[in-house]
Structures are given as structure tokens and as C-alpha cells.
Structure 1
Amino acid sequence: MTGDKPQFPASVYRYGTRPDPRFSLANERTFLAWIRTSLALLAGGVALEALKVPIQEGFRFAAAAVFVVLGLLSAIQAWFGWMRTERALREDRTLPAPSLGLVLTLGITLGIVLIVVGFFW
């Protein structure tokens, strides 16, 4: 790889060998899916507050906060998940599982419960 420009992040690209481009592109699509999830969660949280949905105020704010925090966590998962997976591909290791899957599932469930309870409160 002499003559190649250094790639960012070096913590990923300085190790191992280049994987099959199809795998790297699939990893990039997964990264973008996490980013879309992050944007959807952030938009949902902002919409709950901006549109003044007819839900008891405390529950509405709590649900909005949960969705915004989950959106931020999803963006973090996107970046670190991409890095971990790309490095595993380059080192021919087993691919890591998403580290926030359970947190997101429980958080989204909590947000929905808050909305339903706030609606009937």
C-alpha cells in the first residue's frame, strides 16, 4: 500500500488488509441506516414538543427527552459500530454485534409507554 494517501480514521485503516469492497460498502449502508434511525428519533422528540401534541406536559417532555437521547446514542452507535465492523473486516475477525440494540429497544418502548400514559392521564 505504499503511495496510498492516509485514510481517516487511522485507528481503522492502519490495521489489516483491505476487505472485499462489497463488505465495506455494506458496512457503510449499515452506518447510514443508523444515521437515519438517529434522525428519525431526533425528529420524533422535537416534534412532540414543537407541535404541542395533546399529551400531559410532563409525560410529553419525558418522552421527547427519551427520543432525543436515543437519537444521539444512535448517531454514536453509527460511528463506533462502523469503526468496529470495518476493523474486524480488515483483520478477518468475527463481526461485532450492535452494542446499543437492547438500549434502543427498551428506550423506544419507554417513550411509547410515556406517550400512551400521557395521552390518557
Structure 2
Amino acid sequence: MDIEPLYVAINSSHVFAASKDNFLIWHFTTPKTQSTLGLSGSRHRKDRLYHIDDTPSGVAEVIQDLDKSYQPNTNMQETGDPICCLAVSEKILIIGRESGALQRYSLPQVALVQRYSLTTRPQSLAINCTSS
């Protein structure tokens, strides 16, 4: 892992880890899933790293799925508004920042779809089972 994980969340198919500046999404499979899908010999990388200040649109994931050799560049600079919490469901990822900003990403394509603003720093986040 190229980041120091400070915050972690999980759903049925992905692990989400975040440092102050970046977040990583790792797609995992269980041995049962691999044998059912015939993926036991698959060795391509299943994690993606994003910088919190970038605005992913989901396009890089489509290109990477089509061309396994494609590696998008990830900004590794320090941000002025660090990550302070995150929450995930099957449909969305929400990341809280120290300024009170919330960023909502759609899953599984990881596209930034909405920004919200709170008047205080979020301490923790939770998402209900319907993501509403």
C-alpha cells in the first residue's frame, strides 16, 4: 500500500482505506468467488489510488479495465483540507474533510457526483442500508 491508512471502511466487494491526502479502493475476491468465476489465475492489480483534491469521473477505470497496462497518474502532494472520516455502502462512498466538506462518489465506477458543506468538522459518518 502506498499510503498510511488512517481510516478504513468495507462493503461486500471493496476495502476503502484513506490517509490524510489519498484514498485507496481495493477490490477483493474470496476463494469461492474466484473458483466460481474461473479467476484463480488472475494476477492483475485490483486496487486504485485517488488524491482527495482530484475529481474522478469514472473514465480512468473504464480505460484500465480495457487496457490492463494503463496506469493513471496519482497526485501524491499534500492537501490543504485533509480527510477526517469516510463511510461506504454498496452504491456510494462519502469522504469527510476537516473543513466540513463532504464528497460523495458513486460506486463501483468511483465518480465524484456531489459535494456538500457542513458548518463543522465531521467526526464520523454512517450510511444506511438503502444509501438514502
Please give the TM-score of this superposition, normalised by the length of structure 1.
Answer: 0.22
**TM, length-normalised to structure 2:** 0.21
Q: Whose Rg is larger?
A: 1
Give the structure with the larger strand fraction.
2
More helix by share: 1
By relative contact order (CA 8 Å, sep 6+), the higher-ranking structure is 1
